[in-house]
Amino acid sequence: MFDQLENSIDFINEVEDELFQLNDKKLRDIQDPDIGRQTPDFIKSRGFKEESHYVTTEDGYILGVHRIVNHKIDDSQRHKRPVILHHGLMGSSVDFVENSPGGCIDEKVVTGIVGNNLGFELAKRGYDVWMPNTRGNWYSANHTLLNPQSDKAFWDFSLDEYVKYDCPAVIHYIQEVTNSSKVVWVGHSQGTTMMFGLLSSQPEYSKIVEPFIALAPVAHVGYIDTPSQILARQKWIIKILSLRGGKFLPDQLLRYLARKICRYQYASDLCANVFFFIGGGWDSPQLNYTRIPVYGGSESIETSVKNMVHWAQSVAKKTFKHFDYGYEENIKRYGSPDPPDYPLEQIDARHVALFSSLNDGLADPRDVQILRNRLRGKGPLLDDYIVPYKKWSHLDFIIGLDAGRYINARVIEILKNYQT
């Protein structure tokens, strides 16, 4: 089915032509130079120098990491501790540079005014910004032995592999390049889950990652409030997906749809509802409709079926555990009929900042409270911030119209205490 969808572009072109002929005035073409740009293009378009780095994990995956270099400031203005910005599920490094126009290197930094693109706002202020990509997305679709197009084994990974291999590989690579003993990790959604998993399973990283800022923090997802919750609880769907394996969605087709259809005014409501469906927050006033073609056309939504099954297991069982392979395989892998829990109580919370909201269907306040309670076992949180905007949703943390005001400004304020 997914292969057939990939071949539907000609049909989409025909539909688009017919719709366009209906009424030229109603189908106003959104002109935005950011449409279709990838992460390196965004960085260069704002005047920064872009570096593409490639990190090989212990199990052979080659991860693309984008670095924003501000070459117009002197060494006295630079902060030595590198800042890692990590995207969420079905996201990529572009999440931190695509929110809005602007963020150019020559823009004057004004006290109290922070723009919406976190990557550029940090770089303008002298931070060394690194933006990794999880295995499987279009910036990390390489392996030392496996071909993602022909080898199904390439897609045999889930959150466990992100935690065990991707996070440590990226951190150690950046430490080596920058000669820094500590790094900052700012994650969004699954980008927070990965770090919660790493810090709980390998507590020694708490001495390296200072601080860890969790935007829309996700560990427990038992109270997830989106249509995907219904699907996650259907055992027959999970079983079919488990048997199918491989890649999850036809990403090329979806990106094409975003660029070709969402660029027209008539499709704005439809495209917005797709974003609300995926993003876990309904009718958020923070969505910039005119940027939807940018978001959809630049995003990388690749992940594995196995990873989605892992998330479905977490929703169905209301737990934060390793992947459940079934009774016999669990015995072989874990020495137990049940997969082990990620022991969040082991995390040193003194350098952990939670940024949550009340209208987040994917990081539901009740799930965040469970997380909060488990983290408090080893000391107070660095910050426990609830966005003072009632309709702030999951994607607003990275593409909200007021992300600069509600999110980025507070991130920058926290980092003032972690500059060396």
Of the listed 220, 310, 322, 394, which one is catalytic? 394
Of the listed 158, 189, 201, 298, which one is catalytic? 189
270, containing H or E segment? helix 268-279
226, containing H or E segment? none
Question: How many angstroms separate the CA atoms of 349 and 330, rounded?
Answer: 30
Give whole-number Cα distances, 130 to 68, 74, 94, 118, 125, in Å: 7, 19, 11, 12, 14
Catalytic residue flag (residue 189): yes
Catalytic residue flag (residue 394): yes
Amino acid in position 144: T
> Among all chains, which residue has been given the structure tokens 């688009």?
16
Residue among 71, 72, 96, 75 at smallest CA distance from 84: 96
Question: CB–CB of 402/372 below 8 Å?
Answer: no
Q: What b-and-e string marks burial along 108-120, b requiring 16 or more CB atoms within 10 Å of the CB?
A: eeeeeebbbbbbb
Question: How many angstroms separate the CA atoms of 94 and 300, rounded?
Answer: 8
| Active centre residues (catalytic) | 189, 394
